[in-house]
Amino acid sequence: MGTNDPHFLQGYDQAGRNDVRDRPHPPDFSLPSFRHRVAAVFLFLDSVTCVSNRQVDAPMTERIPSGHGVIAAAKAFAAILPPTPLLPVEIAGVRAWVKAEVLQPIGSFKIRGAWWRLVNLSEAERAAGVVAVSSGNHAQGVAWAGRRLGVGATIVMPHDAPEVKLVNTRALGAEIVLYQRPGEDRDAVAAGLIAERGGTLVHAFGDPWVIEGQGSAAIEIAAQLGRAPSRIVACCGGGGLAAGLGLGAPDSAIHPVEPVGWDMVGQAMAAGELVHAAPDAPKTICDALQPNVTKQLNLGLLQGRAEPGVAVTDDEVRTAQRFAFNTLRLVVEPGGAVALAAALAGKVPVDEDTVIMLTGGNADPVAFAATIAAGV
């Protein structure tokens, strides 16, 4: 099967871009069809020059994530787990799609980057273990991958992380080290642990392999749709997912969405330099999306590539959580619902080739119940 396979290229022009004049029929989600499409996507992306290998400013010794790395990550991930569903959803009279990453084994897309990072460790690095920083979803991804690969994992987590995330991370066998948020620098805590014990840092969003792993979702999306999406609306904390999607879907617009007051990626893209959260940044229910600042690596990948950042309020997020529960029958945590919130609020454009990422489902049961009840 080559890149002229009609099942994959229907709806594409010769450059591999989506041809809106001749849209294909709704995608076939049967497993044989999906495997067929994935193979076609891999072959297609390997053969065309539109796969993004953006140059960013970084030390010569630092590995730079690439589109080809995203393809490799997608192949590795497809070997261990099935794709998450791509579900139709109607927003303002338009049928779009949501990517239900809430149905991953750990309830979050973070399993992608964690798996790709850990499988690329050397034997010596695996023996020394890994250290990660996370508010909970990346923690569970690293712990899940570590348990499966026999790699010890220590996770630096905020003291106010949702109990469900702390419990799930411990259940997967990871050691948790708590830090005070605000007040302590979690990266400094992690660096101290590595200096004391050894180990490899697996950063939640500023790691090249993690970025590539997160981008594997874009490969799945193209295979499921049978075409490139017009845009992907992505929940954004530090920018690892948005950067990875930009590499894996080079012809699609990428819309990063963050909580109001914590839109460090959007502000950094607008300013052209790293922007730190204000000391008096507002509280947000989106515990998963509160990094103090993005990394230069992420900014370099997103600058000039992603659409301008969008910020949503807590009320808009709660509306999205209720919508997902009532319409899609899905439990989505606040941070995992911000992309949907932006779409519902009309803050990003939506058409029939738009894919909205639902990135996390590890909701605090009490808070989630209150959110749903408030809409009754």
Each residue's pLDDT, cut to its tens digit, for the chain (376 residues) gives 333 333 332 332 322 333 333 334 445 544 555 555 555 555 544 543 344 445 455 443 489 999 999 999 999 999 999 999 999 999 999 999 999 999 999 999 999 999 999 999 999 999 999 999 998 999 999 999 999 999 999 999 999 888 999 999 999 999 999 998 877 888 999 999 999 999 999 999 999 999 999 999 999 999 999 999 999 999 999 999 999 999 999 999 999 999 999 999 999 999 999 999 999 999 999 999 999 999 999 999 999 999 999 999 999 999 999 999 999 999 999 999 999 999 999 999 999 999 999 999 999 999 999 999 998 7
Kindly state whether residues 96 and 120 are assigned to the same domain: no
Kindly state whether residues 100 and 134 are assigned to the same domain: no
What's this model's pTM, rounded to 2 decimal places? 0.86
- b/e code 114-151 from CB counts within 10 Å (16+ = b): bbbbbbbbeeeebebbbbbbbbbbbbbbbbbbbeeeeb
Q: Counting runs of H as helices and runs of E as strands, what totals does the chain give?
A: 15, 10
Structure tokens at 307: 């659409």
Final residue before a domain boundary, out of 202, 237, 264: 202
**Type of residue found at 132:** A
Final residue before a domain boundary, out of 202, 234, 266: 202
Final residue before a domain boundary, out of 202, 221, 246: 202
Kindly state whether residues 90 and 150 are assigned to the same domain: no
Question: What is the number of domains present in the chain?
Answer: 2
Rounded to the nearest 5 degrees, what angle is found at the Cα of 274, between the Cα atoms of 231 and 132? Answer: 80
Query: Nearest Cα to 284, choosing from 265, 262, 268?
Result: 262
Burial-class residue 68 by CB neighbours within 10 Å (0-12, 13-18, 19+): middle
Query: Nearest Cα to 156, choosing from 169, 146, 168?
Result: 169
Structure tokens at 44: 């297609």
Ramachandran class of 173: left when φ > 0, alpha when ψ lies in -120 to 50, beta otherwise: left
Radius of gyration for the chain, computed over Cα atoms and rounded to the nearest angstrom? 19
Query: Nearest Cα to 155, choosing from 112, 209, 201, 206?
Result: 201
Range of the domain at 320: 1-109+208-376
Kindly state whether residues 303 and 334 are assigned to the same domain: yes
d(CA 88, CA 225): 11
Kindly state whether residues 91 and 225 are assigned to the same domain: yes
Kindly state whether residues 339 and 322 are assigned to the same domain: yes
